[in-house]
Amino acid sequence: MSRTDVSAPPRGLPRGYLALLVGHTVSQLGSEVTVLALPLTAITLLGAGPAQTGLLLACGRAPYLVIGLFAGVIVDRFPHRRILLTANLVMAATLATIPLLASLGQLGTVQLYMANTLVGVAAVIADVTYLACVPMVVDRARLIRAQSSWQLSKASVVAAGPFLAGWLVSAFSAPTAILADSASFLLATALLPLVPMRAAESQAASSSAVLSQVAEGLTAVFGNPILRAVTLATGTFIFCYNAYSAVFLLYLTNELGFDGWTTGVVLGIGALGGVVGAITAPWAGRAIGLGPVLIVALALSAGGLTLATLLTEPRCSAVACVAVSQFVLWVGQEIYNVQQVPIRYALVPDRVQGRVSASIRSVVWGLAPLGALLGGAVGAGPGLRATLVASSVLGAASVLWIWRSPLRHTHSLRP
């Protein structure tokens, strides 16, 4: 096996990867609109409170817990292009029903829960498929470069998405804004023929064989101390972040008095930190080493969460505080993601990449709905600000998983 250092400076990236990246970026930009527009639809149109917004967020994350492991088996067995085509069309059609029902006066919370759950199911499968495609079209020597561009794309989307969402919500309405997400999946689908993808065999498998394949993915993750530490650290932070997110928009709208446009602008300005994080991540990893940069990035992210609650008056100070909070959060998160995702590419054979990514996603995002439900419940009791502070403090504890693992003293990995 190649002894190429995955942190070595890479050459250019292939066209197939760039086409994959553009399609993913387009769909993610649309999804960022929904991240803001969906809960605002529940809050402004249906009068949702903390428990309802927490449950709505949980519905989108629950599929990772329920079907995440089996998504890896699907991805490792069936053609990637067919999987992405199906998932994109399902998400496009489902999202389009929300503005349709709203225009007819028939939209309710149950419909929002059902739509977000179905989109979540398709998103789980698409997410794992995209991750499995990357090492198929990019050689291992360029994986850090590829992951950096992938995270830079996501960070740019996170930065631009709230501006677009805020404008669409203000100019039209929250339900209508969701149409942008539906259209984005159709555009991403149109780019799929430009990406060379593995034509997997779709032979039938017995239930015992499927379970065996699922177990192989889990063993590859939890049998390796480095992958285990990264997975548990990421899962801990995501659990706390989703508890935080369950009440964050309510905090901005109800306690700070932000309207849709202000919320979009503030989050967009803050998300520029993600761009900074994605750009600087490769340099940071080479400068201080893989393990230390993961610890620093998680600590930085948790610190960013805390900052949002520091100032509530005057209004200009509150706006600035939230923007800085989000900026710091996303600097840390993008540095962390650029460095942690290629770890699985370096340590895991290509034939189980789908199952390993699905196993990690199932643990990490399977904890997300539990965090969202807890955040919504606490927000309805002790209060929104108390929930935000507690979530951010607990999120800082995620660094302990890496601190107590071999990663703490690891500078780089070789596949």
Residue-wise pLDDT for 72-87, tens only, equals 777 777 888 888 999 9
What is the Cα–Cα distance from 41 to 314, expressed in whole angstroms?
Answer: 28
Radius of gyration of the chain (CA): 20
285-289 — which CB contacts under 8 Å span 24+ positions?
Answer: 285/7, 285/144, 285/338, 285/339, 285/412, 286/7, 289/410, 289/411, 289/412
Cβ-contact 146, 134 below 8 angstroms = yes
Choosing among 3.20.20.80, 1.20.1250.20, 3.40.47.10, 3.40.640.10, the CATH entry for 15-193+210-409 is: 1.20.1250.20
Average pLDDT, the chain: 81
Residue 233 — very low, low, confident or very high, per pLDDT cuts 50/70/90? very high
Q: Which of 174, 165, 168, 162 is nearest to 44 (CA)?
A: 174
What are the start-end ranges of the H helices in 1-108? 15-40, 46, 50-77, 80-103
Other beta carbons within 10 Å of 327:
22
Q: Which one-letter amino acid corresponds to residue 95?
A: L
What is the Cα–Cα distance from 243 to 377, expressed in whole angstroms?
Answer: 9
What is the Cα–Cα distance from 295 to 203, expressed in whole angstroms?
Answer: 43
In the chain, where the domains are located: 15-193+210-409
Least confident of 137-141, 357-361, 403-407: 137-141
Residue-wise pLDDT for 341-362, tens only, equals 888 877 877 777 777 877 887 7
